[in-house]
Structure 1
Amino acid sequence: MRADVVVVGAGLAGLRCAQALAEAGRDVVVLEASDGVGGRIRTDRVDGFLVDRGFQLLNPAYPAVRRWVDVDALGLQPFGAGVAVRTETGLDLLGHPLRNPALVPASLRTAVRRPREVAALARWAAPLLRPRPVRELVDVLEARADVDRRTALDGAGVDGLLRRVVDRFFAGVLLEDDGSTADRFALLLTWMFVRGVPALPRDGMQALPAQLAGTLGDRVRLGQPARRVSGTSVETDDGRWTADHVVVATGAPEAAELTGLPVPATKGVVTVWWSASTAPDADLLHVDARRTPAGPLVNAAVVSRAAPSYGPPGRHLVQGSALLRDGHDTDAMRRHAGDLLGVDPAGWEVVARHEVPHALPAQPTPFSAARPVRHGDLVVCGDHRDTGSIQGALVSGQRAAESLL
């Protein structure tokens, strides 16, 4: 069996790479080990609910999404542009003043009581306060490539409630609670959050890779695990593929196993999905900003309030996510989710539980947004070659294709 290019892995990176190659007239085939496309982005239907494998959101502000995805066709259902913060005294609401004007009074009440904290947060986010193109912002943030998030926030004097809000929000986004992520990457993500409201597709997150795969037709072969990659050939259970080039577009651990190349460490998450007969009328992400959190969750949300397609009529879908090392007790996660949402979770029923041990590549210092994709005859792409995000996966796939074209 032969093709111009064999792409191993039908995640976002592999699919975008194959798309670009096919558009350029190359004979390309994509080999995927599992029974569906998407890699870590998969959606299951359970008892009328849509449950993604790990709580994920799509930010339509990502430049790569705007460029290569038909966003309108996804039927995006946005979450509220803000966050609900559980404190020792109750629930504070913080929101984007332009995208969620209804939260302006509550946000101002929180801010006016903490002018010093607000000023410190502004010092940390100073590069984002001036409108500029993302390429210019990337250059401006180059000076922070060697500074981690914790050091940068400490240096700006960010503390108190707002520091806890920032830390606990990023714990859910970056899957770390020690501030070890490069500050440059954290600020880039913040810039994206300011410019777009994260959302869920009508048919689940897997609709995103399914859309990319739809343009490739029978070039995508499911149930075809690559057992061995050697130079320009790939061994599968059905035989051997030869090609001018092989692109390894798997997750980091699989890429290391197939290529022997070093890859970043990865971070894991566990998400539990519950069915509830009643739920708060809130489409915001909830975080625990108390000095001592009441449980293991990094966030909780009534998903069906923001994305009604995720739940059947008469039922609500609630999610709670924790760092993988913390979230093994489902009952503790349920209690903490109920506490964050301000409801009694006793009647909630588990719909699904997903443990994703390699959910994101680590992004420590020194931070580089574009690691090499070419290694001799071999090409490697994935979010572990770029930034740990949907943006990074798509861009790395494009870079891999361009390196061949």
Structure 2
Amino acid sequence: MNKQDYKIHIIGAGVSGLTAARVLEDNGCSPVIIEATDRVGGRVKTDIIDGYQLDHGFQVLLTAYPAAQKYLNLDALELQKFIPGATIFHNGKKKTIGDPLRNLSLLIPTLFSGIGTFSDKLKVLRLNRLLKKATLNEIFAKAEKTTFQYLLDFGFSKEMISQFFKPFFSGIFLEPELETSSRMFEFVYKMFGEGFATLPKAGIEAIPKQLKENLKQTTFQFNTKVKSVEDHKIFLADGTELESHFTIIATEPSVLVLNLKNRETKWKSCDTLYFETNNRIIDKPLIGLISDSDALINNIFYHTSLASKSVGKKELLSVTVVKEHGLSKEALIMRIQKELQQYCGLDSYTFIKHYCITQALPILDGLQYEIHPSETKLTTGIFLAGDMQLNGSLNGAMIAGERAALGILETISSSI
């Protein structure tokens, strides 16, 4: 039996499923991707509203991700770079800090920001050197502790942690107390140090769109919901039964496979709200951090500080909330509007859109950087992908998809 004759299905057209299809195509297979919605991307999506590009949540692509360099054409994405720093709002004042070694304009503001002691700044340099030398496999082999405990053990002052590390990494980890594994902190910190945080000119959904465009032998079935999966069989919600030699589940597997019912992934949630404003209170492409402990807002960003394909008439501001709040949509908007004025001095804006993202990042223990292809094999015919298999990142999603595809290819090779 030739490779192209195998019936291989991938459930989920997110970044992981699309990467799996790419690896299978590169090795002579012609997979079928089954997607419940009308487009690719999964959690990586962009809407166009009133001319503005609205990503589903504040997401960035780190150019140092090894899997991104392997599977994406970064030049074709027309990546727009963030400046490696942040504007911090604290006690009614606005201060900017960053990495002056990578952007000289940040030297004077950082030196005179008053954020962090001189000892903190030396520790940042030491952390940079430490992680530059460490390999990714070494980072993910270390014993885990919370990121908060890691920063304390490293010797950073509580002021440095509360005013910079907490608001910055809370926005990445989508939880306010930095309970996320120190492995993830070191990984993300290293990636920020070795590359740039970027956004594609057409928005974050340009990433899965590019992955889809590069597929030539893959068939897509959109608006198709899967009810359950068994070895060599897929049952669709409309009652259709599909024969499948191999199936990659690149979405939440517990709802599809009977013996995984008690292993449902737990998720972090967040809220992202978009506003139109007349002007920007942060001129450069810097993230704005709200470090006051009582604030519900975690970070703000002016997307119009970066070039975009679709352009609205004014300025586009996103607001990210990672704390649990229990507020209705209307109450949340009112609270955010009050805080924008209170903490940022912003009082002229128009609400555009609110995204309540209930499955933003998986909550995981024992984070891994990679996985052996054979470890993605659940049964003789079912393989698991998705970032929940490794770590919550675009890099993790791509590697998990790659390894699930390689798992199938190894199984086919051993049967020939």
TM-score normalised by structure 2 residue count = 0.87
1:286-343 per-residue CA deviation (whole Å, 9 max, x = no partner) reads: 11223x34x211110111112444532x311100010162384112223334555x34
Query: Hey, what does 2:23 align to over in structure 1?
Result: 20
Is 1:386 the counterpart of 2:390? The answer is: yes
Structure 2 distance, partners of 1:282, 1:99, is 15
Q: Which moved more, 1:50-59 or 1:146-155?
A: 146-155
Query: Hey, what does 2:360 align to over in structure 1?
Result: 359
- Residue 102 of structure 1, CA deviation: 0.6
Change (3 A) 1:69 1:256: same
Amino acid at match of 1:150: F
1:217-265 per-residue CA deviation (whole Å, 9 max, x = no partner) reads: 5612211111111111112237222121110001xxx321112432542
Structure 2 distance, partners of 1:283, 1:65, is 22
Structure 2 distance, partners of 1:19, 1:111, is 49
**SS at the partner of 2:135?**
helix
Structure 1 distance, partners of 2:175, 2:389, is 19
Q: Percent identity?
A: 25
Question: What aligned pairs does 1:5-404 form with structure 2 within 5 A after superposition?
Answer: 5-88=8-91, 90-110=93-113, 114-121=117-124, 127-128=130-131, 131-132=132-133, 136-142=134-140, 144-164=142-162, 165-217=164-216, 219-236=219-236, 237=238, 239-250=240-251, 254-259=252-257, 260-261=259-260, 262-280=263-281, 281-290=283-292, 292-293=293-294, 295-309=295-309, 311-312=311-312, 314-323=313-322, 325-326=324-325, 328=327, 329-340=332-343, 342-345=344-347, 347-364=348-365, 366-370=366-370, 372-377=375-380, 378-404=382-408
1:65-102 per-residue CA deviation (whole Å, 9 max, x = no partner) reads: 11110111111112222111112262221112233211
Structure 1 distance, partners of 2:280, 2:120, is 33
Amino acid at match of 2:97: L
Q: Which moved more, 1:197-206 or 1:324-333?
A: 324-333
Is the CA contact 2:175–2:323 (under 8 Å) kept in the aligned structure 1?
Answer: no
Is the CA contact 1:204–1:310 (under 8 Å) kept in the aligned structure 2?
Answer: no
Change (3 A) 1:111 1:401: farther
Change (3 A) 1:41 1:15: same
- Residue 62 of structure 1, CA deviation: 0.8
Is the CA contact 1:270–1:355 (under 8 Å) kept in the aligned structure 2?
Answer: yes
Structure 2 distance, partners of 1:361, 1:123, is 30
Change (3 A) 1:7 1:139: closer
Amino acid at match of 1:206: E
Q: Which moved more, 1:92-101 or 1:321-330?
A: 321-330
1:149-205 per-residue CA deviation (whole Å, 9 max, x = no partner) reads: 122122223223321110111110001122221101111100001122212111111
- Residue 54 of structure 1, CA deviation: 1.1
**SS at the partner of 1:152?**
helix
Q: Which moved more, 1:30-39 or 1:139-148?
A: 139-148
Change (3 A) 1:392 1:150: same
Change (3 A) 1:230 1:391: same
Is the CA contact 1:145–1:367 (under 8 Å) kept in the aligned structure 2?
Answer: no
Structure 1 distance, partners of 2:354, 2:368, is 34
Q: How many residue pairs were aligned?
A: 390
Query: Hey, what does 2:413 align to over in structure 1?
Result: none
Is the CA contact 1:147–1:183 (under 8 Å) kept in the aligned structure 2?
Answer: yes
TM-score normalised by structure 1 residue count = 0.90
1:123-160 per-residue CA deviation (whole Å, 9 max, x = no partner) reads: 666621xx43xxx5234335633222122122223223
Segments of structure 1 that go 5 or more residues without pairing to the other structure are none
**SS at the partner of 1:37?**
coil
Change (3 A) 1:169 1:80: same
**SS at the partner of 1:379?**
strand
Q: Which moved more, 1:214-223 or 1:10-19?
A: 214-223
Amino acid at match of 2:401: G
Segments of structure 2 that go 5 or more residues without pairing to the other structure are 410-416
1:23-64 per-residue CA deviation (whole Å, 9 max, x = no partner) reads: 111121000000110001111111111101111111122111
**SS at the partner of 2:7?**
strand
Structure 2 distance, partners of 1:106, 1:361, is 36
Change (3 A) 1:126 1:202: closer
Amino acid at match of 1:234: I
Amino acid at match of 2:118: P
Q: Which moved more, 1:111-120 or 1:387-396?
A: 111-120
